Structure 1
């Protein structure tokens, strides 16, 4: 609610609402509006990435790698998939420099425009049969651009919530931005399920798969305006400045508080390792080693994404009662137990596949809902804005970037026990990082 000469209404339980109300300008923005803008923005980012991930299974193996087997073509597509996560930390470093010189609005405009252009550019991608390896190179470059852009979309909300929200409501507000993941997945999977189920294989591979990439550009335009209204608003900017949430150079953060960046990345690793294990990897495995139709698998995943959204909301309620780190540690243990039955579920036919997907999405929602900024408080105030972004970048890079590639490649060669080992490695990293973090707190 905004209007010239009228203060924004404070939201109960949100300490920063007072700061927003005091701004008393026509640009006032309530915390509820911030939450809506963040969900829209995050949904657009996840939509872009899920569209690409699904295309890595349904489109790119035959469209770009017809000279390889189905398995090798999918592995090559997953290698390109990982490029964006390698580029993301570079995008964060570049965007922090842009923000320091030209402001948060300029940074976000450039980032979301680049993200939209790269995604829409993929819709015009020629096939391997048309231009040969040039098509593969172009896709890799566009994917790199997506990663750079995603590094620049950091808005500082998790850090802001960690500092402005009252202690007893911190978990609830921390989960808000994470809702963008299931929303983005539902949109992407629904589009692909409809097109894949309605068109012939020839029509889908010729032109049908391109529509989700066009839609991604349109969604990015909406997200750009929704988020720009926040970041250039007087109230939001003053609140960030009041909390000293301003960018500093990546080199300085790593030099002074690199240990906190690593702890933050590894503390969330179990959740990030599971992320692509229930979204992208199952599609590839079931497509090659099961008779279940892809439209049906996508339908089950859509149901799972709704369950994940509910679980994310539940994680906010739970964490405010048991503690965010206790919840994250407990969920890591449950993910470890889940990993032990993964080989049996994924080799039990459609029923086992469906159980794996639905249970996996619930576990993902409960853990991922609190994976953002879990140890944000470790950073000194000056480094919190950039440090939290870098922690997320490294968690994606280490835990999720190569998950589909490693899991599919090793499972095809050694069996599904490879998936169990991958998830268990993430679990051990999370438990170890949380333990180290607790020891540091006790020492201090």
Structure 2
């Protein structure tokens, strides 16, 4: 989730744009502070998205699609959920242009401000019963804005951590930013579990569900100031410039190294496909076809998210010992095997549901911990910053954006075998992309010899 300046002008026009603001920052930024900034930033972003995802199951079908069945209302909510992932690469393209013109600080301020405004807009949004279809249109627009903002919030911190990692520790440093996912989910699920469990249904649907979106706005404000302090620091700025981690045009990237973007997107597909199939999808399936209490499901998912956090940490150790690509490939195989057990587990009652969630979260942690930037070394230095951002955007779009709506829609019609096939296809795509990447590297090595 990176960009680079032109070789002839490594700092680009953003250097003068940021010069005055950086002069007010006197303290150097340590690697530990960068790691904290990565986790804070990613946690706030993931919290935003998980709040919307959970609300797509528990709130939006009743508030915005009351005239549809619960299944169709949930499918429509998931369709709106996917809009942000469509908008995300667009946001990346726009934000790279903003950074080249006005600097990194301006880009991030605009992105996080837009994210906050969109989130608060959803919190205040009247339901269908009040303003009719306008409510649905506004919900979709706010969701699109969230996607634009997330695409624009790329700060390059994970890339910087990976590139400055000590020898043999790149996998460990690469997993740090991924810890924001389970942390964001635990906070979002815990908040919804509390509100859903303590309020009456009418209270929850009229005003209770809005509180998580207000909390998301508050977290965005905290994240904005924490990350701005980092990106304006002299140590951070110098390190980014020395490694040419500055933006280039997305069109130029596609023209020159679009193949690497495609490989980068598909290399992480198994992990990204699993992402929403263990977080958002189980909640929808169980709420529609099981009597298991929603608060209980959310609590089990919170336990799963904690397990995922430990698995993400473990992925760093595994990657440093066996290689990041080998680790990601091995996890794709395990995800493929897990997909075969999915129909049995999700049709086996509470125990099966819980096993699916816990095991799924562990596999997610092991794979997602190394999914970011596994093949970004393929990019030429001047394209690595933007290449990392756009590859991740495309992985989200291809692997995760439509997972909830496709999995729920197909499984409700053809059975849970559809979920199994969807997840299996992601594992196959990951193995194929990693194989292609390995073959290209071998060919380049042979050519160099």
**Which residue is equivalent to 2:301?**
301
Contact 2:65–2:73 (CA under 8 A) maintained in structure 1: yes
Classify the secondary structure of the residue corresponding to 1:168.
Answer: coil
Deviation at 1:123, TM superposition (A): 0.5
Distance in structure 1 (CA, Å) of the matches to 2:416 and 2:290: 13
Deviation at 1:379, TM superposition (A): 0.4
Distance in structure 1 (CA, Å) of the matches to 2:201 and 2:91: 37
For residues 366-385 of structure 1, the aligned pairs below 5 Å read 366-385=366-385
**Which residue is equivalent to 1:414?**
414
Deviation at 1:26, TM superposition (A): 2.6
Deviation at 1:162, TM superposition (A): 3.3
Q: TM-score, structure 1 length as denominator? A: 0.94
For residues 93-104 of structure 1, the aligned pairs below 5 Å read 93-104=93-104
Higher RCO (CA 8 Å, separation ≥ 6 residues): 2
Distance in structure 2 (CA, Å) of the matches to 1:405 and 1:26: 49
**Which residue is equivalent to 1:271?**
271
Deviations along 1:377-399, one digit per CA (max 9) or x if unpaired, are 10000000000000000000000
**Which residue is equivalent to 1:338?**
338
Q: TM-score, structure 2 length as denominator? A: 0.93
Which stretch shifts more, 289-298 or 158-167? 158-167
Distance in structure 2 (CA, Å) of the matches to 1:312 and 1:159: 17
For structure 2, list consecutive stretches of 5 or more residues without a partner in the other structure: 1-24, 445-449
Distance in structure 1 (CA, Å) of the matches to 2:219 and 2:425: 36
**Which residue is equivalent to 2:348?**
348
For residues 351-362 of structure 1, the aligned pairs below 5 Å read 351-362=351-362
**Which residue is equivalent to 1:214?**
214
Deviation at 1:350, TM superposition (A): 0.6
Contact 1:159–1:376 (CA under 8 A) maintained in structure 2: no
Distance in structure 2 (CA, Å) of the matches to 1:54 and 1:217: 17
Distance in structure 2 (CA, Å) of the matches to 1:213 and 1:158: 26
**Which residue is equivalent to 1:63?**
63
**Which residue is equivalent to 1:108?**
108
Distance in structure 2 (CA, Å) of the matches to 1:106 and 1:286: 43
RMSD between aligned alpha carbons? 1.0
Deviation at 1:155, TM superposition (A): 1.0
For residues 319-334 of structure 1, the aligned pairs below 5 Å read 319-334=319-334
For structure 1, list consecutive stretches of 5 or more residues without a partner in the other structure: 1-24
Contact 2:38–2:158 (CA under 8 A) maintained in structure 1: no
Deviation at 1:89, TM superposition (A): 0.3
Distance in structure 2 (CA, Å) of the matches to 1:233 and 1:274: 36
**Which residue is equivalent to 2:202?**
202
Distance in structure 2 (CA, Å) of the matches to 1:398 and 1:318: 26
Distance in structure 2 (CA, Å) of the matches to 1:201 and 1:328: 43
Classify the secondary structure of the residue corresponding to 2:169.
Answer: helix
Deviation at 1:165, TM superposition (A): 1.6
Which stretch shifts more, 157-166 or 34-43? 157-166
Distance in structure 2 (CA, Å) of the matches to 1:420 and 1:86: 24
Distance in structure 2 (CA, Å) of the matches to 1:423 and 1:36: 32
Deviations along 1:24-74, one digit per CA (max 9) or x if unpaired, are x83201000000011001000000000000000000001111110000000
Contact 1:83–1:147 (CA under 8 A) maintained in structure 2: yes
Classify the secondary structure of the residue corresponding to 1:374.
Answer: coil
Aligned length: 421
Distance in structure 2 (CA, Å) of the matches to 1:344 and 1:256: 46
Contact 2:272–2:400 (CA under 8 A) maintained in structure 1: yes
Contact 2:31–2:161 (CA under 8 A) maintained in structure 1: no
Deviation at 1:234, TM superposition (A): 1.1
Deviation at 1:163, TM superposition (A): 2.4
